Amino acid sequence: MFCEDALGMSLASSLLVEGEEAEQLFRNADKSRKENVGDTTCVHGIIEFSNHCAKNCSYCGISSSNCTLPRYRMSPAEIVDAADYAVNKLGYKMIVLQSGEDPHYTTEMLEGIVKKIKEKCKLLVFLSIGDRDYETYSRLRKAGAGGVLYRFETSNGLLFKKLRPGTSLQTRLTHLKWMRELEYMIATGSMVGLPGQTFEDLMGDIKLLGRLEAKMATFGPFIPHPATPLAGNAGGTAEMALKVIAATRMIYPKMRIPVTTALETLGGENRKKALKAGANALMVNLTPMKHRENYQIYPNKFGSKDDVVAASDSAIALVRSLGRRVCRGWGPWSAAPELAPICR
- Round to whole Å and give the CA distance between 170 and 145: 24
Question: What pLDDT, on a 0 to 100 scale, did the predictor assign at position 7?
Answer: 36
Task: Indicate the helix (H) or strand (E) that contains 174.
Answer: helix 169-181
Reported as a single tens digit per residue, the pLDDT across 257-302 is 999 999 999 988 999 999 999 999 999 999 999 999 999 999 888 8
* Averaged pLDDT, 123-136: 97
Reported as a single tens digit per residue, the pLDDT across 44-101 is 999 999 999 999 999 999 999 999 999 999 999 999 999 999 999 999 999 999 999 9
Predicted structure pTM score:
0.93
Reported as a single tens digit per residue, the pLDDT across 89-98 is 999 999 999 9
- Do 258 and 250 contact (CB within 8 A), yes or no? no
Question: What pLDDT, on a 0 to 100 scale, did the predictor assign at position 3?
Answer: 47
Q: How far apart are the first and last CA of the chain?
A: 34
Q: What is the DSSP string of 180-196?
A: HHTTPEEEE-BEES-TT
**If DSSP codes are grouped into helix, strand and coil, which group holds residue 256?**
strand
335, pLDDT greater than 50? no
193, pLDDT greater than 70? yes
If you ran DSSP here, which 8-state letter would residue 54 be given?
S
Question: What pLDDT, on a 0 to 100 scale, did the predictor assign at position 331?
Answer: 54
The superfamily (CATH) of domain 6-10+19-327 is Aldolase class I (3.20.20.70)
Report percent pLDDT > 90 for the chain: 87
- Round to whole Å and give the CA distance between 15 and 164: 26
- Do 18 and 25 contact (CB within 8 A), yes or no? no
